[in-house]
């Protein structure tokens, strides 16, 4: 094995600057704690007033997949997320297709954030058109990401704090409203009061979009101290923390405003809840906090997809000279970050509904392959087949696969049309890349890290 390059060898590396708090904050910023209100009215109407119950189902399903992400981070603590895990477990062809499908998640989530920012700010300042707000948001988020992941982490702390303050104010105001009215049924928002299980499960399929942040944490493995230990814990903690927050917020909201049939508009039902609980002042505070959350999510999601593109560029699946480049001063994938900003300009012409439809498909495909990768790596490749190992590396990931597939089959027809079209385009590109599968796509050139070794991976890029 060759010796690691010296600091003067012209090699540029990702910096290991992130600890556990930064990782969890990154994941929560990506998830956006206030995202519970994005689909609040839609899922409440679909489940007939049982949004908290649907969140319980979704959290249960997501914890199994979060567990599998943690297992794969221990095996491959590198940037790339589901792409890396599938590539290492099933080979470069399936790795490429998984990474391609995952782009639906990472690329279009920033677009949704930019759209929401434009819509809400235009509603507050209608003199300025939506497209101006969208362009300004893209420019600001891109500039912060170019400055480096340390700057993103610091900004996320501030923006998460704003959301936490709002959540506390909302919970206090909602509980005061509940105290002033006749006590409602405490179990009805979950599975009581004539709950239809099939409708709750249908709502849970939509809510999986709220949990996309935990897998983004795995993309920062190469920028984390002791990634084999810290990243798996951060993934589980992010998933559990986010899920509990969603359940508590939606539960208290249902108790304070149980008459879901009186929503003025299910798409903006959160405003009805805020006005009922705290009047126009709370509604204005909600708007400001939600926009702050969208900025945090946009920064986190743009940082994540740039590192996915960097991993694919470093592999040679995407043009290496452009996507596999790390800036020698900022020590992050600047060119990939700018590419994400360019793709986000689609937010100027795409609808919020269509952008949302293009996320779930790719995310659930990636979740399925991560669960399958655990079984392949530990049970089949490493031969871990004791009873305890079969439970840890066989049964639990298999449950994650089944739950992911169940959620996947619950998606709308439009999602399948757009998603399959995207996958088809990726397959055609793969055929060209491999010349009709007569050669293998270039493999990731990753060095193995000792769990106790925090030296940089030996990735050589142009300076």
Report which of 313, 351, 339 is spatially closest to residue 462, judged by C-alpha positions.
Answer: 313
Res 2: pLDDT: 43
Sorted by sequence, the CB contacts under 8 Å of residue 424 that are 6+ apart come out as none
In a domain, 393, yes or no: yes
DSSP E strands in 171-307: the ranges are none
Number of domains the chain contains: 1
Is residue 122 within 8 Å of residue 130, measured between CB atoms?
yes
Res 53: pLDDT: 92
The 3-state DSSP class for residue 384 equals: coil
In a domain, 14, yes or no: no
The predicted-structure confidence for 65-94, as pLDDT tens digits, reads as follows 999 988 988 887 765 577 788 888 998 888
In a domain, 11, yes or no: no
Res 17: pLDDT: 55
Task: Work out the pLDDT band at 227, boundaries 50, 70, 90.
Answer: confident
In this predicted structure, the answer to whether residue 196 has a pLDDT above a threshold of 50 is: yes
In this predicted structure, the answer to whether residue 16 has a pLDDT above a threshold of 70 is: no
In a domain, 304, yes or no: yes
| Structure tokens belonging to residue 260 | 């879901």
In a domain, 460, yes or no: no
Mean pLDDT confidence for 286-296:
82
Report which of 241, 234, 229, 228 is spatially closest to residue 216, judged by C-alpha positions.
Answer: 234
Is residue 368 within 8 Å of residue 94, measured between CB atoms?
no
CATH number of the structural domain spanning residue 221? 1.20.1740.10
Q: Who has greater pLDDT, 228 or 283?
A: 283
Dihedral sign computed on CA atoms, order 130, 131, 134, 136: negative
Q: What is the pTM of this model?
A: 0.76
In a domain, 17, yes or no: no
The predicted-structure confidence for 324-355, as pLDDT tens digits, reads as follows 777 777 677 888 889 999 999 998 988 766 77
Report which of 151, 153, 114, 146 is spatially closest to residue 133, judged by C-alpha positions.
Answer: 114
Which residues on neighbouring strands pair with residue 454, listed in sequence order?
none
Quote the Cα angle for 288-341-38, to 5°: 35
In a domain, 76, yes or no: yes
In a domain, 457, yes or no: no
CA distances to 193, 375, 389 from 392, rounded to whole Å, are 37, 9, 5
Q: Who has greater pLDDT, 444 or 101?
A: 101
Res 443: pLDDT: 57
Range of the domain at 78: 24-434
């Amino acid at each position: 094995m060759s010796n690691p390059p010296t600091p003067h060898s012209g090699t540029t590396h990702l910096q290991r600057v992130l600890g556990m708090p930064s990782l969890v904050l990154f994941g929560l910023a990506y998830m956006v704690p206030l995202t519970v209100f994005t689909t609040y009215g839609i899922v409440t109407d679909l489940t007939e007033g049982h949004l908290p119950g649907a969140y319980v189902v979704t959290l249960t399903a997501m914890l199994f997949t979060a567990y599998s992400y943690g297992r794969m981070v221990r095996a491959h603590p590198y940037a790339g997320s589901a792409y890396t895990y599938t590539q290492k477990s099933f080979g470069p062809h399936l790795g490429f297709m998984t990474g391609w499908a995952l782009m639906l998640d990472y690329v279009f989530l920033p677009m949704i954030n930019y759209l929401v920012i434009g819509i809400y700010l235009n509603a507050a300042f209608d003199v300025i058109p939506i497209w101006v707000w969208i362009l300004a948001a893209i420019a600001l988020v891109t500039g912060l990401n170019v400055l480096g992941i340390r700057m993103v982490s610091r900004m996320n702390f501030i923006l998460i704090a704003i959301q936490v303050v709002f959540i506390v104010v909302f919970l206090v105001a909602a509980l005061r409203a509940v105290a002033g009215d006749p006590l409602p049924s405490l179990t009805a928002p979950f599975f009581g009061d004539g709950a239809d299980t099939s409708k709750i499960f249908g709502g849970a399929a939509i809510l999986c979009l709220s949990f996309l942040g935990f897998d983004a944490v795995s993309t920062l493995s190469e920028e984390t101290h002791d990634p084999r230990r810290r990243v798996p814990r951060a993934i589980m903690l992010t998933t559990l923390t986010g899920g509990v927050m969603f359940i508590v917020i939606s539960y208290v909201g249902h108790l304070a405003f149980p008459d879901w049939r009186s929503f003025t508009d299910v798409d903006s039902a959160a405003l009805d809840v805020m006005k009922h609980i705290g009047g126009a002042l709370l509604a204005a505070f909600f708007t400001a906090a939600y926009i702050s959350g969208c900025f945090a999510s946009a920064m986190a999601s743009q940082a994540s997809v740039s590192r996915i593109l960097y991993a694919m560029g470093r592999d040679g699946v995407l043009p290496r000279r452009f996507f596999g480049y790390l800036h020698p001063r900022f020590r992050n994938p600047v060119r990939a970050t700018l590419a994400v900003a360019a793709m986000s300009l689609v937010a100027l012409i795409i609808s919020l509904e269509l952008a949302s439809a293009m996320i779930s498909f790719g995310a659930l495909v990636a979740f399925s392959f991560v669960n399958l990768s655990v079984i392949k790596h530990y049970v089949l490749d490493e031969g871990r087949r004791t009873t305890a190992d079969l439970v840890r590396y066989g049964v639990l990931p298999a449950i994650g696969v089944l739950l992911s597939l169940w959620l996947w089959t619950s998606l709308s027809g439009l999602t399948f049309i757009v998603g399959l079209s995207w996958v088809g385009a990726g397959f055609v590109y793969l055929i060209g890349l491999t010349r009709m599968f007569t050669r293998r796509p270039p493999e990731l050139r990753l060095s193995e890290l000792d769990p106790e070794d925090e030296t940089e991976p030996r990735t050589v890029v142009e300076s």
